[in-house]
Amino acid sequence: MSNQSKKILEKFHFEYFKERCKELPSGKVDDGGEEPDFVIEYNGSKLGIEIVRLFKEDGHPNSLQALEQYQKQIVKRARELCEKDIPPLDVFIWFTPNQKVPKDRNSAIERISHDLAEYVKRWHQENPSKVADELEPHMEISELSLICIGRNSDRHYWSAPNCAIEEICSMERLQERINEKNAKYEEYLKRCNKCWLLIVVDIFRNSQSLVIEPNHRYESEFERVFCLDASHRKDLKELYIILLSNIIKVL
């Protein structure tokens, strides 16, 4: 994901957080930095908000998030190839299960997206009276198992739904992710007086379909730690924390 795309996504997450967190102070928002991602200026003080996305796996080449991004690029490219040639359609694509990101990733994206675009164009030309259809393209495009097409008078809408398998996030994995941000806390304080951490999951996206155990106490440098489900649910939970600065004072 490019830095620009990452920042756009973080802005969406920040807006969701603002909607759900009633205790978040209102004020001027500086979204131009990275450490932390956002700084709210209010009543002569500055509160930082650092956002981190939580995944089931680390970002290796065959991780779930890498596969989702690969499939997303195929669909996006196929839509672009169709937009100039045919009227708007709703197109939903299901990929065959247990796929891996190929080593020749870029050429695979071009090949599959081209084949997909041609398949959809041919359907449009051969079925002018059909409003919707369900197709099984596997014999022609082995990477795809199902395509659902519907005519749309407004715009092209293409998507690749996936089955999200919900998992319980281990306390150790979540603490590990918090620790990565704990290590940067002093850097964050160069732009703000205090800082909160926002952890983002997405229960309907397989790579991020994680359930957080809210009753465990996590060690944190951040004054407050929240978990946001970025799906349409927009659920927000605050995690119980042990403030590391208090532990140091006791010692």
Q: Residue 85, Cβ neighbours under 10 Å: how many?
A: 11
Q: What is the pTM of this model?
A: 0.81
CB-CB neighbours of 31 under 10 Å: 13
Residues with Cβ within 8 Å of 165's Cβ and at least 6 positions away in sequence, in order, are: 206, 209
Q: Which two tokens stand for residue 176?
A: 């590990």
Cα–chain center distance at 113? 22
Identity at 61, one-letter amino acid code: P
The answer, yes or no, to whether residue 251 has pLDDT greater than 50, is: no
Cα 159 from Cα 93, distance rounded (Å): 6
Q: Across the strands, what pairs with 219? A: 242
The model's pLDDT over 72-122, given as tens digits with 9 standing for 90+, comes to 999 999 999 999 899 999 999 999 988 899 999 999 999 999 999 999 999
Contact predicate 121/80, CB 8 Å: no
Q: What is the pLDDT of residues 120-146, one digit of tens each?
A: 999 999 999 899 999 999 889 999 999
Question: pLDDT (tens digit, 9 = 90+) per residue, 171-227?
Answer: 999 999 999 999 999 999 999 999 999 999 999 889 999 998 878 899 999 999 999
> Would residue 31 be called left, alpha or beta, if left means φ above 0 and alpha means ψ between -120 and 50 degrees?
alpha
